[in-house]
Amino acid sequence: MPTPSSELRDGFGGIDIYLFDQLLKGRFDSRRDVLDAGCGAGRNLPWFLKRGFSVYGIDDDPAAIVHVRRMAATLAPSLPPAHFITGNLSKLPWRDATMDAVISSAVLHFARDEKEFAEMLRELWRVLRPGGLLFARLASTIGLEVRLRWLKGRRARLPDGSERFVVDERFLLEWTDALGARLLEPIKTTNVQNQRCMTTWCLEK
């Protein structure tokens, strides 16, 4: 007999719990063209694929894209394999205003510096339609201010040993204004036992 956890995994895969929260809030009820920017092996995609969303994905790891194409072929065989491509978030191949939602889960904090962060963020924003949703989860200083080892610019070594481009509330609010965006909800941060902090940033275009 299936357990509750196995049933949830079958339905949702390894979906980011904070992205699941956006599903529960109805943020994807009318947003059907969805891009996972930095999709990796597709942990956030099974639910969308099974329910007829027009799903797109991009990642810089060719092996990950091979895996996502295989998964999509099983769960959503009508989707063209070309929806999932190897590429760089700083130069997306899609036209302006083609996506209803863009997911960027644990990706933007790999930016080398503020220039690359800006390039990636502006590209994610460019492909969104008016009224579109940008869901981002990324490493932040919030709650770890005295525990970070600063390296260069906004890059820091976290207590867990990883090196990340880190943001803070002021930085995110400044970018919200610069994009002409609307915060869909307050910025939220999860502190993982003072080893790392991950912030959820949800914007509407």
Domains by residue range for the chain, with CATH: 15-204 (3.40.50.150)
Q: What is the pLDDT of residues 33-65, one digit of tens each?
A: 999 999 999 999 999 999 999 999 999 999 999
Residue 158 pLDDT: 97
What is the rounded distance in angstroms from the CA atom of residue 175 to the CA atom of residue 83? 29
Strand ranges in 38-194 using DSSP code E only, listed in sequence order: 54-59, 84-86, 99-105, 128-139, 149-152, 155-157, 163-165, 182-183, 188-192
The two structure tokens encoding residue 110:
């790999």
The two structure tokens encoding residue 104:
């960027």
Mean pLDDT value of segment 108-118:
98
Name the nearest CA neighbour of 201 among 109, 110, 127: 109
Spatial strand order of the sheet with 163-165 comes to 149-152, 155-157, 163-165
Residue 41 pLDDT: 95
pLDDT band per the 50, 70, 90 thresholds, residue 2 = confident
pTM: 0.95
Residue 163 pLDDT: 97
Residue 177 pLDDT: 98
Q: What is the pLDDT of residues 160-180, one digit of tens each?
A: 999 999 999 999 999 999 999
Sign of CA dihedral 113, 171, 202, 133: negative
Q: What is the pLDDT of residues 7-32, one digit of tens each?
A: 888 888 889 999 999 999 999 999 99
